[in-house]
Every structure is written in C-alpha cells, then in structure tokens.
Chain A
Amino acid sequence: MQGEVGENVSKVDVCGLNVWFKDNHVLKDIKIGIEPNAVTAVMGPSGCGKTTFIRAINRLNELIEGSRTTGEVYIGDENIYSKETDIFDLRRRVGMVFQKPNPFPKSIFDNVAFGPKIHGTDDEKELQRTVETSLKEAALWEEVQGRLKDSALDLSGGQQQRLCIARALAVNPEIILLDEPCSALDPVATAKIEALMRKLAEKYTVIIVTHNMQQAARVSDCTIFLYLGELVEYGITKNVFENPKSELTEKYITGEFG
C-alpha cells in the first residue's frame, strides 16, 4: 500500500560519515540532515564523492571490494549501519535509479514486478495492481499499458529510466536516490523526468546527484555542495546559488572549476 502524503517519511540524518575505498578516503566526516518530502540536489566537481554519498544511504557501497564505512546514518530514529539492520529491507525502503538506465532483460511487467516478488508478494492480482500503480506514478503507464509483455530493452532511453523509477516505486520506498538520472537522456526526456521528480517529492524524500547546475536550480528545494569528499555547503537552493556562504561554492557556481 502506498502511504499518504507526508506519512511514513522520515528525515535522513547523516552523522560523522566516513567512507574509504582501500586506502582512498573518499568521504570525510559528513554531517548533514536531509529534509523529508523535498528534492535535495547533491553537487560538486567530478570525484568529490557525490555518488559514494548517496550509495552510503542504501549501503550499496558494500558491494565494492575493499570499501569501509564508519559513522552513522539515521533514517527516522534507526541507524541503518547498526548490526541489527536488515540490509535488504533497507534497500527496499531506499530506492535507487542509476545514471545509465538499467532495466533487466525481461518484460516491462516483470521489471516492475521483480521488486514486490522478491519481497514476498505472490498474488498475481496484487502484482498487477502494483505494476499499474507504479507505472502510473512514474508517468509511463499510458505509453506501455498495451505492451507490458514486451521487452524492456525495446523502450527508448527516457522510457527505460521512467521504468527504473517505477521499479523502485513498486516496493513502497520512503526515500528515492537518483544518480545523475538524466545525463544519458535527450532534453525532452530530461524535462519529463524533472517534472516527475517534483511530483514524487510530495510523497517521498528525493535525493538527486547532478552535474547540471541549471537542473539543480530548476528541480531542487535544497542543495548540498561537496568538494573532495567534504561537505562545503548546504542550504535552500535559492540561497546557495544566489548567496553562497563559501568561496568554493561561489567558484563552482560561476564555473571556475568543475
């Protein structure tokens, strides 16, 4: 069941997060609180740790050999790095959409149904309902409703990305992470997804990594600026762009580097 607007959605509190890949200290002592029901953009030059940061929220960094994480990340009042955490349920609650759309080589229906199935939903009717709801929420239903059994790989890039969003929504998450979701898409597809993100924020907490400053300005309520693994600035987007507190932020915004 989908939650009501604002219900079941908690604040994300990052406390003293450090991430190493072998000897490389990628994230240094990040401390930040992310607002629920808002779109937060994570920005910074290449290599500053943006992707690592969001992957720390669904603990996907642990898939990489040689990674080490210290610190705490609270979703609501639960530290997701504690020993009692069910990491698989965590990843259900925190959905992720990747830079390059990665639908499974299955049918459109099976892609969206994959999540509910692995989390225990067996009933065929319920799966169909969930698939339809998720595809509608991802603004893809009208385009695919007649061909759910077709291969997902036949869709265009923009459609595939919306499919991946639907796939993440199908398991009823609280938080949605998007890693540069539009960088592989054309302007029309990009516009559709940007509109979608604003709508999703009414129900979920949306965190998006982006390279594109105009996109951040268009889409996000709050902006985080990372540089070389450190948190440089965080605030309401309008303020960060028009009145940056840090000199580094200003330099990045005016295009001196990045």
Chain B
Amino acid sequence: MKSKSRAKAKKTTRKIKEKIIERLLFASATVSVITTLAILGVLLFEAIGFFRQVSIIEFFTGTKWTPLIQPQHFGVIPLIWGTILVTTIALGVAAPVGLGSAIFLSEYAPDKLRRIVKPVLELLAGVPTVVYGYFALTFITPFLKQNVFLEMIVFNALSAGLVMGIMIIPMISSLSEDAMLAVPQSFREGAYALGARKHEVALRVVIPSALSGIVASFILAISRAIGETMIVSIAGGSTARLTLNPLESIQTMTAYIAQISLGEAPFGSLEYRTIFSVGLTLFLMTLAVNLFGQWVAKRYWKRY
C-alpha cells in the first residue's frame, strides 16, 4: 500500500543518513592513526636521505656534533647526553619536591588546605615554557652566579635543569597524590591500630601501595622533560658537549632542532636534514620511555 512504501522509503533514507554520519565520525577518529603514520613517514623519509650521506654508525656512536662548522661531525651522542643531563637534574629537583608535596597533600593536609594548595601548585603546569626559560636566564642564573657558583657560565645545564624541575613538579605531585588517595583508608587504619605513627603509615604503607602510580608519574615527567624545548633553548646553551659538569653549556636534541630551524640552512641541504635525523632520535627516545611507562602501569597497577 502507499503508506507502506512511503514508510520503507523513509526507512532507507534514514539508514543512508546514519551510515554517512557514522563514516564521517569514523574518518575523524582515524586522523590519529594518520598522524602517527605521518610522523613516522616524514621523519623516516628525510632521515633516510640524511643517512645516505652520513653513516648511521657515525651518527649513533660519534661523540662530536658540529654540523654547522667545518670540519663537520655528525655524532648525535652529545645531544642525547645533553638531554639526559638536563632531565636528570630536573628529576633530581622534581622527584623529592613532588613526592614530598604529594605526601603532604594526601596524608597531612586538612581538606580545606588541600583544596586551595593543590590547584595553586597545578598553576605551575599551566605556565608557558618560554616563561620558564625567561625565569631561568634572568633570575636563576644570576642568582646562582652571584651566590653559589661564581665561575658559572651564563648558559648552563644546571639552571635549565632546575627550572625544568620546577615545571614538572605538578606532574609528579598531582599524579602521585592521586595514586596515594586511591589507597583504601582501611590500610591506613590497620597500621594506626598497630601503633604506627603518621610518617610511618605514609612511608611504609601508603607509598608502597601507591608505588605503581608514583613510578608512572615519574616516567611521565621524564618523557615531558626529554621533549621540552624552550627552557633549554633559552638557558641551556648551544654547544653540543659531552660533559659531566652541569655548570657548562650543553645542547639538547630539542634545542638543536630549534636552533637550526631559526637559522639559514637551505631546504634539502644536509644541515636541514639534521632536523629530521635528530627529530627521529628524539621521537624514538620518548616513544621508548612512554611505552615503558605503559608497560609498568599495566603490569603493576593494583586495582582496589
């Protein structure tokens, strides 16, 4: 009958409309996959071009990085080392400060205080990194030079590392605190009932139970520090150097990429291609850290 065929037509148009919408939404979701493939594609494509002129072995094992002066050397190890040095200093600051803050907020602070202090601490995470770079160069470095290390060079790993540490404090403190708050109150009460004191409960019961969350926060902070660009560009220096002395200038992978992007290297030249080979190294390093973090989280996460 007429109404039946009209109903059927209505049904088909509705079906088509739903299918189109679903396809569009699906396409948006695949952008993430395309992005990952594009990152790999771009990095590998240009890096391969780079590695036709520079041997991979020299790149990954050489200890001299001087692409912009003659004679040119393309050993990336000093850049990797610069990154590691600054990251280590940053973690050296952020780990104790972040953990201590987390313990304070979760075990000692009354609820009202926590509700004020926690968001204020999180403001540290919202400050743009260029501001941190400014702070490192114009405040921290002169301060250290005047009062502590009188022979310090203006651009050095220590200032950059310290300020980077300040920047990642909230990552460690917030995530560790969340992990600690997730520990059931019954664990604490059991310990108190045995006569334990507050600091013993915190250190011997809560932290071990929350350990996987705490470790995950560390790994996340490390990953962030490795990829940070502005602080090290402004305050860390531009000399790729293999040194254990944090008072000297160094250069991280990220700072190098920034330096050469602002420079005059022509498209397609070998110097231009270093952007991609160093970028590839950086990408693989953060990928490894992130995957490790995910593995740790999966393996040791206790659900309460």
Give chain A's interface residues, CB within 8 Å of chain B.
86, 88-89, 120
Contact = CB atoms under 8 A, between A and B. Distances in A.
Q: Is the interface of B mostly helix, strand, loop or mixed?
A: helix
B199 interface: no
B14 interface: yes
6 contacts: A86-B7, A86-B11, A88-B14, A89-B7, A89-B11, A120-B10
Contacts of A89: 7, 11
A89 B11 CA distance: 9
Contacts of B10: 120
Interface in B1-34: 7, 10-11, 14
Nearest to A88: B14
Contacts, number: 6
A89 B14 CA distance: 11
A88 B14 CA distance: 10
A157 B88 CA distance: 59
A78 to B, nearest CB: 12
A120 B13 CA distance: 13
Across the A-B interface, give the 3 residue pairs with the lowest CB-CB distance, nearest first: A86-B11, A88-B14, A89-B7
B234 to A, nearest CB: 49
Contacts of B14: 88
Nearest to A86: B11
A92 B13 CA distance: 18
A129 to B, nearest CB: 21
B202 to A, nearest CB: 41
Contacts of A88: 14
A89 to B, nearest CB: 7
B190 to A, nearest CB: 34
Contacts of A120: 10
Nearest to B10: A120
A69 B144 CA distance: 73
Residue in A86, A88, A89, A120 whose Cβ sees the most chain B Cβ within 10 Å: A86
Contacts of B11: 86, 89
B105 to A, nearest CB: 34
A47 B227 CA distance: 54
A84 to B, nearest CB: 9
B11 to A, nearest CB: 5
A86 B15 CA distance: 10
A21 to B, nearest CB: 23
Contacts of A86: 7, 11
A86 B10 CA distance: 10
B19 to A, nearest CB: 14
Nearest to B18: A88
Interface string B195-233: 000000000000000000000000000000000000000
A120 B6 CA distance: 13
A122 to B, nearest CB: 14
B269 to A, nearest CB: 54
A41 to B, nearest CB: 33
Interface in B152-169: none
B297 to A, nearest CB: 25
Nearest to A87: B11
A52 B299 CA distance: 37
A255 B131 CA distance: 73
Contacts of B7: 86, 89
Nearest to B14: A88
A121 to B, nearest CB: 13
A88 B10 CA distance: 11
Nearest to B11: A86
A86 B11 CA distance: 7
A155 B117 CA distance: 39
A88 B11 CA distance: 9
B195 to A, nearest CB: 45
Nearest to A85: B11
A86 B14 CA distance: 10
A86 B9 CA distance: 11
Interface string B34-57: 000000000000000000000000
Nearest to A120: B10
A213 to B, nearest CB: 40
A89 B3 CA distance: 14
Nearest to B15: A86
Interface string B167-187: 000000000000000000000
A89 B15 CA distance: 12
Nearest to B8: A86
A89 B7 CA distance: 10
A89 B6 CA distance: 13
A14 B11 CA distance: 25
A228 B14 CA distance: 39
A98 B157 CA distance: 64
A117 to B, nearest CB: 14
A57 B181 CA distance: 45
B78 to A, nearest CB: 53
Nearest to B12: A86
